Amino acid sequence: MKRTTIKDVAEAAGVGVATVSRVLSGGSASPETRERVLAVAAHLDYRPSALGRNLRQQRTGGIGLLLPDLTDPLYGRLAEGVLACARSAGEPVLVGSTGGDPEQESELIGMLLEQSVDKVVAVPSGDADTWGPALRTGMTVVFAGERPDEPTEEPVDDLLLLDGLRGRPRVEGGIPTVLADDRSGVRTAVQYLKGLGHRRIAYLGGPGHARRVSAFREALGPLVDDELVVFAGGSRDAAYAAASGLFQSRPDLTAVLAGGNQLGEAAVLAARELDLRIPRDLSLVMYDDVPWAELCSPPLTVIAQPAQDLGYRAAELVLRAGIRRPRSVLLPTELIVRGSCGPRR
């Protein structure tokens, strides 16, 4: 007879996997929801294999790796770093794609709990509360590349900066995170564009770009034009629509900073469609270096982040969690100047 899973309980109770996980681990839920979930679990004779004591008694080893998009070159390189570290430690890796959807992320967390996976590296899609039930069961989690959505932005100085940079351990109680120093990268890029004479500089952003936008505003200072700070949804179509709309509504802008490789791709395509010549009509800097950036005509100036190292360091942290408490780290970025930027005309 097939064993009842947490997903079976969630479907029968009409709630999400994360809600079932939260109820069974003693987390917050309304009395009605808690009663319904517990009743369904009892009726289906659900025997949790990963929640509670069994998570602590039946370790299976291995690392769970949750990524928003397996086709994105950035996440592919990050995954390579995790796999390299896990391979050196003799640990298997279970990979899941969240599609950038918090609900799908919750379901995958539940599945990892079902399989007694107690170490996870994730590029988070939802907010920090999504991970609460898993953390209460004893799962060790390290975020890589991004933080979950939070009401306030954590200061850079609350991270340990590596490779000779200054810093200190992150504040107690937070989930360890390995990040690229995007604030420094964005500031350097804006200063470079200003040095070329650009004053009407746009930022094309997406979900989770609060730190980069903050750095962009700080670097521009009084030159910031709110109409030139544009956000797109997570899809390629949304990115293209945002770039095209920006370029058509503000023909006076002379430079744009695209906050990610998908947004940079959209900016290149929209500029081509609108007969904007790069860099003669529009200078372009893209956050993140991907293989196609150097193949563009002209090659794109980029803010490069060490994606593979992000994954490797995150895997190191999650594997060492039993020895000492992991500390968050911040890795340096680099501005690589190519041919997509020129002086303001």
Is residue 54 in a domain? no
Is residue 24 in a domain? yes
Does residue 4 register a pLDDT over 80? no
Looking at residue 174, its pLDDT comes to 76
* CATH number of the CATH domain containing 29: 1.10.260.40
Looking at residue 258, its pLDDT comes to 97
Using a pLDDT cut of 70, give the percent of the chain over it.
Answer: 85
Is residue 339 in a domain? no
Higher model confidence: residue 231 or residue 6? 231
Looking at residue 301, its pLDDT comes to 98
Same domain, 169 and 211: no
Same domain, 155 and 211: no
Work out the mean pLDDT of the chain and round it to a whole number: 84
Is residue 340 in a domain? no
Reported confidence tier of residue 131, pLDDT bands at 50, 70, 90: confident
Does residue 120 register a pLDDT over 50? yes
Is residue 342 in a domain? no
Is residue 214 in a domain? yes
Is residue 141 in a domain? yes
Whether the upstream peptide bond of residue 343 has omega within 30° of 0, thus cis, is no
Same domain, 11 and 71: no
Looking at residue 147, its pLDDT comes to 81
Amino acid type, 27? G
Same domain, 161 and 197: no
Does residue 6 register a pLDDT over 50? yes
Q: How far apart are CA 297 and CA 172, in angstroms?
A: 47
**In which domain, by residue range, is 226 found?**
182-306
Q: What is the pLDDT of residues 222-261, one digit of tens each?
A: 999 999 999 998 788 999 999 999 999 999 999 999 999 9
Using a pLDDT cut of 90, give the percent of the chain over it.
Answer: 53
Is residue 335 in a domain? no
Q: What is the number of structural domains in the chain?
A: 3
Main-chain dihedrals φ then ψ at residue 73, nearest 5 degrees: -55, -35
Closest CA to 254 of 274, 283, 228: 283
Q: What is the pLDDT of residues 313-329, one digit of tens each?
A: 999 999 987 655 667 89
* CATH number of the CATH domain containing 295: 3.40.50.2300
